[in-house]
């Protein structure tokens, strides 16, 4: 018998911003881009959702729906750091943890029943309290026999809920839910099924798999299994992260190279801080550039391992000089770091001046963690 938990951080980006600024508590808040251009909502508080505000909605539209909405630009580097720290903490409690996204995790507690007092449903509440106490973040946790049922169950008790679907009751639990509750049934599939007379999961449970496949094609087999309580029981532990990247889409296209370099420097600071927190260095730096006509180019370069803002910026700014060759404004710029090695692998080669700078960069990270990303910037070597 499998025990799979799904942990979902409620309106994660907004919740992190509320940790930083408690005055945002209880107010309609979104993390998103500028309302004056192409900005979209990345995360919306439940207070904002009451007005119809949703993720991926243009920020300008969100403000029209909710005029007193508070728009926070957000810092995706910080969200990644929160996610990383929480992931490491959860790995201390569950033998196998899979990060499904920046704000979702699947946990396998199979075989841990006696370890947690033969009451895993109650232990889910313990985990929820731990996330609240240690990270100040609200979360919803569902425990079930597989990942699909756990994810569906979590969505039924958000925000800040805990639920257990006992083994053998999956079909009964799913039956009264809307067909849209099943992952994989998007708007188009939902429309097709509703035209055929299917509105509840129970309606799908009442027909054979062959009929579901007849309506939806091969995708129908998976939908049929999910409607009847099936789902993957396999948890894939996280492997070493392959890249760390940040990018920014502008509200208005930019052709001023000085402005582009200023934005690029901010992105470099962000990714380098993330790399240093992991005690890594990176050897390959990539620049991403998207022109106003949507043509996108990338340039990469490999040098001696580094996590120094100045070194990385010098490299990617040189890439910018060689990449920005068209007489056309830019709508997006991004930087990506790959090819990581552990910092300790290079320490023996450091000269005294290098060690001093490495210590300085560590202090910079600590100051930014405490007071914010923009409180201090790093100069050249």
- Catalytic residues, which ones? 104
b/e map 347-381, b = 16+ CB within 10 Å: eeeeeeeeeebbeebeebbeebeeeeeeeeebeee
Torsion of CA 37, 41, 42, 48, to 10 degrees: 150
| Burial of 306 per CB tally in 10 Å (0-12, 13-18, 19+) | buried
Report how far residue 90's alpha carbon sits from residue 123's, in angstroms, rounded to the nearest whole number: 13
Report how far residue 232's alpha carbon sits from residue 86's, in angstroms, rounded to the nearest whole number: 24
Show Cβ contacts of residue 352 under 8 Å, excluding neighbours closer than 6 positions: none
* Tokens representing residue 236 in the block: 């894939």
182, 157 contact by CB (below 8 A): no
Report how far residue 219's alpha carbon sits from residue 262's, in angstroms, rounded to the nearest whole number: 47
H/E stretch holding 243: strand 243-254
């Amino acid at each position: 018998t499998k025990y799979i938990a799904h942990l979902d951080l409620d309106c994660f980006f907004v919740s992190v911003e509320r940790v930083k600024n408690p005055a945002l508590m209880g107010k309609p808040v979104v993390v998103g881009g500028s309302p004056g251009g192409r900005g979209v909502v990345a995360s919306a508080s439940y207070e904002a959702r009451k007005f119809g505000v949703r993720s991926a909605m243009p920020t300008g539209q969100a403000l029209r729906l909710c005029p007193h909405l508070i728009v926070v630009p957000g810092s995706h580097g910080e969200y990644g750091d929160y996610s990383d720290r929480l992931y490491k903490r959860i790995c201390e409690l569950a033998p196998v943890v899979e990060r499904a996204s920046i704000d979702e995790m699947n946990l396998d507690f199979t075989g841990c029943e006696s370890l947690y007092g033969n009451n895993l449903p109650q232990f889910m509440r313990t985990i929820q309290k731990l996330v609240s106490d240690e990270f100040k973040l609200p979360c919803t946790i569902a425990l079930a026999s597989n990942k699909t049922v756990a994810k569906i169950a979590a969505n039924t008790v958000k925000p800040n809920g805990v639920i257990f679907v006992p083994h053998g009751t999956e079909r009964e639990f799913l039956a009264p839910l809307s067909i849209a509750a099943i992952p994989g049934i998007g708007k188009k599939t939902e429309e097709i099924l509703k035209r055929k007379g299917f509105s509840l999961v129970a309606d799908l449970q009442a027909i054979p798999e062959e009929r579901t496949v007849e309506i939806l094609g091969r995708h129908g087999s998976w939908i049929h299994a999910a409607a009847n309580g099936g789902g993957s029981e396999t948890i894939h532990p996280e492997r070493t992260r392959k890249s760390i990247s940040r990018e920014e889409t502008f509200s208005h296209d930019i052709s001023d190279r000085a402005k582009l370099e200023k934005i690029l420097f901010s992105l470099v600071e962000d990714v380098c801080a993330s790399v240093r927190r992991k005690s890594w260095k990176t050897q390959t730096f990539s620049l991403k550039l998207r022109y106003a006509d949507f043509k996108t180019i990338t340039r990469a370069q490999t040098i001696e391992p580094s996590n120094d803002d100045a070194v990385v910026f010098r490299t990617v700014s040189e890439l910018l000089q060689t990449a920005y060759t068209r007489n056309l404004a830019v709508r997006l710029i991004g930087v990506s770091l790959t090819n990581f090695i552990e910092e300790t692998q290079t320490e023996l080669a450091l000269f005294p001046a290098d060690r001093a700078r490495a210590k300085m960069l560590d202090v910079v990270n600590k100051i930014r963690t405490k007071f914010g990303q923009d409180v201090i910037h790093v100069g050249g070597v």
